[in-house]
């Protein structure tokens, strides 16, 4: 059975297209598909199907329609009766919506990993699943309004990602007309406006690129009373000064030094976005401490590595220290590792047996960071902070209170369990600091990781069951 809602509702079985007998059956299967694999309450189904006038016995009327739908679909197991409602089970193998979402996510991951050609192919395939406006026959029905908007947003985001891939591949002239058409339909969408400005500039049309900015500003001011966001304003300034960073470079010609973090990276879009904002804040002189916790192997260090790659690309200095796994390391070992990256400006970690000496050291470190970050923003990573000595954790606590006016993003990772040092646990719970708890990957993320890592033949559900979604164990399973 194959269900399709990315366009007119279509259902196809092995025997051919499935014809549903009534508008209510089409609405019923659509509502179940929009909540595929979740139980849709009976009351919700009744309210949607009989929005104008409820039948005398709504539950019985619904049972009749469910029975007819099951017969049309050819089996009792397609629509399941569950306590309180009904469930339709469907995944990417039988439903075009999750198939599209997986393809779009794969394209986005490939784009972030520096593979625009693979990203464009994956995104084009995903967008090719669309056959027209989603849920068009229900456009006037209240239950479909938010879902139509959600689906259209998913599609537009994938189109924007595909255009980013096109721009990285040098197809700037080819996307101008498409962008102009998209902006006509979505005039307040700043990402599209920025893509058009860049495409025009790279096509040798600098004056038109600047006019595109003025058009964007005019639309935002007139409709919302808002100035363009910072990225659009910075793009205009970069065009005005003909910044070389805007020029197209083939993929084998790096724009700037610095490596990308290695390996496929999935399932952390929210955390990566939040830490990306942390880098922006550090550049602006609004430093803050971020603490990333989770079980062993869940990907704390891998997330920090990805953030470090972004920081390097943004022109920041990355300082990395890791607590020693073995005993015998001197006090302040992770800090000494990290701050030696400052070269001659690195502070000296001597004996701080008494409080006065410790305070003098802490203030000296803070002042060094203030001076060095004013020259170039810093990302400091303290990995495995749960293994850190007491003095190192005290310094972390002290510096956390000094960051507000520094160009420093401070990121510490630790395993959260019953053995977490009390001082670190208290610091993580402090409301002024940002706490990110990493969870295991879900089945969809496991499937994407298997695909990106070259093991698409492995069954994602089985791998998830074996590994619990722990990325390290997934990699071990693939080996």
What is the arithmetic mean of pLDDT over 362-375? 90
- Greater confidence (4 vs 328) lies with 4
Shared-domain flag, residues 396 and 469 = no
CATH number at residue 53: 1.10.10.10
Give 202-234 pLDDT, tens digit per residue: 999 999 999 999 999 999 999 999 999 989 999
- pLDDT in the model for residue 212: 95
Q: pLDDT tens across 385-407, in order?
A: 898 888 889 999 899 889 988 99
Query: Is residue 321 located within the same domain as residue 389?
Result: yes
Please check the confidence at residue 252 and state whether its pLDDT lies above 80.
no
pLDDT at res. 270: 87
Domain boundary among 88, 118, 152: 88
Angstrom distance (rounded) from CA 426 to CA 434: 13
User: Is the pLDDT score of 248 beyond 50?
Assistant: yes
Q: Record the tokens describing residue 231, joined without a space.
A: 């990225």
Cβ partners under 8 Å of residue 299, min gap 6:
268, 438, 471, 472
Average pLDDT on 249-270 reads: 58
Q: For residue 327, what pLDDT is reported?
A: 66
Mean pLDDT of 456-475: 90
Point out the least confidently predicted range of 282-291, 337-346, 469-478: 337-346
Q: Predicted confidence band at 249 (pLDDT cuts at 50, 70, 90)?
A: confident
pLDDT at 54 over 50: yes
Q: Does residue 32 sit in the same domain as residue 50?
A: yes
Residue 1 scores a pLDDT above 60 = yes
Mean pLDDT, range 48-52, rounded to an integer: 83
pTM for this entry: 0.54
Instruction: Give yes or no: residues 84 and 104 share one domain.
Output: no
Is residue 38's pLDDT more than 50?
yes
User: Can you say how many angstroms the Cα of residue 329 is from the centroid of all Cα atoms in its chain?
Assistant: 37
Domain membership of residue 252 (yes or no) is no
Does 255 fall in a domain? Answer: no
Residue span of the structural domain in which 38 resides = 2-88
Same structural domain, 331 and 418: yes
The edge-to-edge listing of strands for the beta sheet with 79-82 is 40-41, 85-88, 79-82
Query: How high does pLDDT run on average in the chain?
Result: 86
Domain-located, residue 262: no
Determine, yes or no, domain membership for 168: yes
Three-state SS annotation for the chain: CEEECCCCCEEEECCEECCCCCHHHHHHHHHHHHCCCCCEEHHHHHHHHCCCCCCCCHHHHHHHHHHHHHHHHCCCCCEEEECCEEEECCCCCCEHHHHHHHHHHHHHHHHHCCCHHHHHHHHHHHHCCCCCCCCHHHCCCHHHHHHHHHHHHHHHHHHHHHHHHHHHCCCHHHHHHHHHHHHHHCCCCHHHHHHHHHHHHHCCCHHHHHHHHHHHHHHHHHHHCCCCCHHHHHHHHHHHCCCHHHCCCCCCCCCCCCCCCCCCCCCCHHHHHHHHHHHHHHHCCCCEEEEEEECCCCCHHHHHHHHHHHHHHCCCEEEEEECCCCCCCCCCHHHHHHHHHHHHHCCCCCCCCCHHHHHHHHHHHHHHHHHHHHHCCEEEEEECHHHCCHHHHHHHHHHHCCHHHCCEEEEEEEECCCCCCHHHHHHHHCCCCEEEECCCCCHHHHHHHHHHCCCCCCCHHHHHHHHCCCHHHHHHHHC
pLDDT at position 76 is 56
Is the pLDDT at 198 greater than 90? The verdict is yes
The confidence score (pLDDT) of residue 331 equals 85
Number of domains in the chain: 4
164-184 in b/e burial notation, b at 16+ Cβ within 10 A? bbbbbbebbeebbebbeebbe
The reply to whether 256 falls in a domain is no
Domain boundary among the residues 57, 88, 119 is at 88
**Is the per-residue pLDDT at 259 higher than 70?**
no
Axis-axis angle for helices 142-168, 23-34 (nearest 10): 50
Interval 46-55 mean pLDDT = 82
Residue for token pair 């400006």? 345
């Amino acid at each position: 059975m194959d269900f399709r809602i990315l366009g007119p509702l279509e259902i196809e079985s092995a025997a051919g297209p499935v014809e549903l007998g009534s508008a209510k059956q089409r609405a019923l299967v659509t509502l179940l598909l929009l909540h595929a694999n979740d139980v849709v309450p009976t009351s919700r189904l009744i309210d949607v199907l009989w929005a104008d006038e409820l039948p005398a016995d709504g539950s019985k009327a619904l049972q009749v329609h469910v029975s007819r739908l099951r017969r049309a679909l050819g089996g009792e197991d397609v629509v399941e009766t569950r306590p309180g409602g009904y469930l339709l089970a469907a995944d990417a193998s039988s439903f075009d919506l999750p198939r599209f979402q997986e393809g779009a996510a794969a394209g986005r991951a490939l784009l972030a990993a520096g593979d625009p050609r693979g990203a464009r192919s994956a995104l084009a395939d995903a967008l090719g699943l669309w056959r027209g406006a989603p849920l068009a026959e229900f456009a006037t029905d209240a239950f479909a309004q938010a879902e139509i908007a959600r689906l259209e947003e998913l599609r537009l985001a994938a189109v924007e990602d595909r255009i980013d891939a096109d721009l990285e591949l040098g197809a700037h002239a080819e996307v101008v007309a498409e962008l102009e058409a998209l902006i006509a339909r979505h005039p307040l969408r700043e990402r599209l406006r920025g893509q058009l400005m860049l495409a025009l500039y790279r096509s040798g049309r600098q004056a038109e690129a600047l006019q595109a900015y003025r058009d964007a500003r005019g639309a935002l001011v007139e409709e919302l009373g808002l100035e363009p966001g910072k990225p659009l304003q910075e793009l205009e300034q970069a065009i005005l000064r003909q910044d070389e960073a805007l020029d197209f470079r083939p993929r084998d010609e790096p724009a700037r030094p610095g490596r990308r973090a290695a390996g496929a990276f999935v399932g952390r879009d929210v955390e990566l976005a939040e830490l990306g904002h942390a880098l922006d804040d550090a550049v602006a002189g609004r430093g803050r401490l971020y603490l990333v916790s989770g079980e062993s192997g869940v990907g704390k260090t891998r997330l920090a590595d990805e953030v470090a790659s972004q920081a390097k690309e943004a022109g920041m200095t990355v300082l990395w220290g890791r607590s020693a796994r073995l005993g015998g390391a001197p006090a302040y070992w992770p800090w000494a590792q990290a701050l030696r990256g400052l070269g001659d400006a690195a502070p000296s970690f001597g004996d701080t047996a008494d409080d006065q000496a410790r305070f003098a050291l802490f203030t000296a470190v803070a002042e060094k960071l203030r001076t060095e970050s004013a020259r170039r923003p810093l990302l400091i990573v303290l990995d495995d902070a749960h293994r850190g000595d007491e003095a190192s954790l005290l310094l972390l606590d002290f510096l956390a209170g000094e960051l507000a006016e520094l160009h420093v993003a401070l990121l510490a990772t630790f395993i959260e369990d019953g053995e977490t040092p009390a001082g670190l646990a208290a610091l993580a719970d402090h409301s002024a600091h940002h706490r990110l708890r990493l969870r295991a990957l879900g089945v969809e993320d496991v499937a994407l990781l298997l695909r990106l890592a070259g093991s698409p033949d492995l069954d994602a559900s089985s791998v998830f069951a074996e590994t619990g979604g722990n990325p390290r164990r997934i990699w071990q399973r693939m080996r």
